[in-house]
Amino acid sequence: MYNRLYGLGYGMSAAGPFFGFHWIGWLVGALFVAGLVVAIVLSVKAQRAAKSGAVREGTADGTASALALLKERLARGEIAEAEYDRLKAKIES
């Protein structure tokens, strides 16, 4: 009956989608969903990193980010003002 419905005639068989390998459809679907989940997770992580300031902006030579780090170290009390001035002059030269 199945053969007649799909016009295969006598002696021919219809194995269905993917010639009987139905699991391929499930696999492709599962991989697609997994890819979407990974893309969503990575985009959320990138957004959170950008909002938290983990990604620093600077010039191509890195002087702006180096100065920002130096200012942060001074603000936290890790270095004294004299050390800050010396390092700042070194970075800007």
Q: Which DSSP symbol is given to 7?
A: T
CA-to-CA distance for 13 and 2, rounded, in angstroms? 8
pTM: 0.41
pLDDT tens by residue, 31-87: 999 999 999 999 999 888 777 665 455 555 555 678 888 998 999 899 999 999 999
How far is it, in rounded angstroms, from Cα 88 to Cα 82?
Answer: 10
**Spatial CB neighbours of 88, under 8 Å, sequence gap ≥ 6:** 67, 70
Neighbours of 70 (CB within 10 A): 18
Say what the pLDDT of residue 56 is. Answer: 53
Please tell me what DSSP assigns to residue 56.
Answer: P
